[in-house]
Amino acid sequence: MSESRWAGGSPVVLGLLGDVSGVPVNDLLAEMVHATAGLSFLEWQRYRIAAELDSQLVGDEVLTDYRMIDSTALCATRIATVLSISQVAAERLLARAVALRDRLPQVLLCLRDGKVAPHHIRTIVSRTDLITDPQIAATVDREIAACLRRRGSWSTNRLRDMVDRIVYTHDPDGVRERRRVARDARSFWTENGADGMGVVGASMTVENTLLFAQRVHAAADHVCKEDPRTKAARRSDALVALTTGATWECLCGDADCTAAHGWDTTTASGPATTAVIHVVTDQTTLSTDHDGRPGFMPGYGVIGPDHIRDLAGHPDTVIRPIPTSAPAAQPADPYRPSAALARFLWMRDQYCVWPGCDQPAMRCDGDHVTEYEHDNPSQGGQTTPADMNSKCPFHHGVKTFTEFLDDQTIDDLGHPEVTVTTPEGFTVDGPANTGVDLHPHLGDIEFTAPPNGPPPPTPEQPTRRRPRLEDKHARRRHERERNRRARDDDDEYDPPPF
């Protein structure tokens, strides 16, 4: 191995900060974004080199070389040797390089420009590998690259869903064959673990996986708070009870505890055992026998039209059309979103809107972006799609109880544009891909704004001019407006890379 050309060099030569001691927080965060984009640039260089090695050492010989250790394997062996990685890892790196060169050149340029993270490249290549038609491949490449260059951030699941949506749209046959092969390969296995433990595994359709998980989780949660097991241990024990018919018990040690009573592991009965999976789809997909638009299954991601029709054909499936207009809040409480708005939020947002978070929206809180003023609702945020989005409990707490700020606007197509600003003022864009990209008609749904609540009571004793919380909310509104003006004035906006 040759000596590194990086060691001993000054970061300044590469356009990076030298001494980072005492550098302001926002400058450090910006430098981290810049350095992360540099990782993408270096990975782009590695793929270019690997592709050139393939051109020189393999070329057209790949079509006629029948040797067990063929030219591709030998090329990968060279890479594995100099990088000290396994042969399998080297062959996968080489395969990705060739795919990016031949099938996804626009995506490769996005990697060079820092618009996509290196680990996301693996997802894009693997989920487009069944496309064989050059014209379809070129179209998919262009559309994926256009999405990657959007303003906004990418989490692992949102990027996967974006790629699946585009592939399902342009090459449903390839996806259909992939699903058939995967379904036929479903299996069950066990492995011996260390220290007297074992591992159980199974592959099954996603709907069965979700139903299975819901039942295990429901049983595991049916204990009192004094049960000494961790949540993971309870789920392991619940799985054993459900598959063997053993009695499910709380292990708190209290002889009078009745938390687990009434749970029958031998049948589908038991408190809170109803398992439900949801799918969002277009009516046209259900009414046609072939193709159609892909849909979305919360907790999994994008699924194809055939899969949707299979699920719709189950005898216990309930199909509920989405109304084109609905009330936004509960009739007696303008703070609480209506059931229709709650469903709309998880269909539109799909996941927590915080940059990089993949918590499914169905398990998130519906949060008022501009805080709801309980004492004077007309002065605060409203219970409407424009001022509400999905945040997981952790990020909801970060927004509510710390100095982080968030903002949201809705564009003309109904796509939410979210920003999050750190306490020091460093702003990051929210999701670049949402449910509106998959189902554009979500943007057509209209909600009736909730009525204003009663005015605040007249104080009976001297008080502050306004509460501390209202001061905080006013400052946040000011910060949001300033951020919006800054974005409008920025002609050459360069968003974070992912």
Provide DSSP, 81-141: HHHT--HHHHHHHHHHHHHHHHT-HHHHHHHHTTSS-HHHHHHHHHTTTT---HHHHHHHH
> With contact defined as beta carbons under 8 Å apart, do 434 and 416 qualify?
yes
Judging by DSSP bridges, how do beta strands 198-203 and 187-192 pair with one another? antiparallel
CA atoms within 13 A on the CB side of 309: 14
The secondary structure of 382-431 as a DSSP string is: -SSGGGEEEE-HHHHHHHHHSS-EEEEEE-TTS-EEEEEE-TTS-EEE-B
Numbers of helices and strands, H then E, in the chain: 16, 13
pLDDT of amino acid 455: 43
H or E stretch covering 148: helix 134-148
pLDDT for residue 334: 84
How do the domains of the chain map onto residue ranges?
A: 40-149, 325-455+464-489
Helices (H), 185-254: 206-220, 231-244
**Under DSSP, is residue 291 helix (H, G, I), strand (E, B) or coil?**
coil
Query: What does the pLDDT read at residue 97?
Result: 97
Largest pairwise CA distance in the chain:
92
At 274 the three-state DSSP class reads coil
Q: What is the predicted pLDDT for the residue at 496?
A: 52
- Each residue's pLDDT tens digit in the chain (498 positions)? 467 777 777 888 788 888 899 999 999 999 999 999 999 999 999 999 999 999 999 877 767 777 777 888 889 999 999 999 999 999 999 999 999 999 999 999 999 999 999 999 999 999 998 888 899 999 999 999 999 999 999 999 999 999 999 998 998 876 767 777 778 888 888 888 777 788 888 888 878 888 888 888 888 888 888 888 888 888 988 888 888 877 788 888 888 887 766 566 655 555 445 567 789 998 888 887 777 889 998 888 998 888 888 888 888 888 888 888 888 888 777 888 998 999 999 999 999 999 999 999 998 999 999 888 777 767 777 889 999 999 999 999 899 888 999 999 999 888 999 999 999 999 999 999 999 999 998 888 888 877 655 443 444 544 555 565 566 566 666 666 766 776 676 655 555 554
- CB–CB of 436/413 below 8 Å? yes
* Separation of alpha carbons 72 and 79, rounded Å: 11
The verdict on pTM exceeding 0.95 is no
Residues 6+ apart with CB under 8 A from 175: 130, 164, 167, 168, 304
Model pLDDT, residue 271: 47
3-class DSSP assignment, residue 444: helix
Per-residue model confidence (pLDDT) at position 66: 72
Query: What's the DSSP call for residue 188?
Result: E
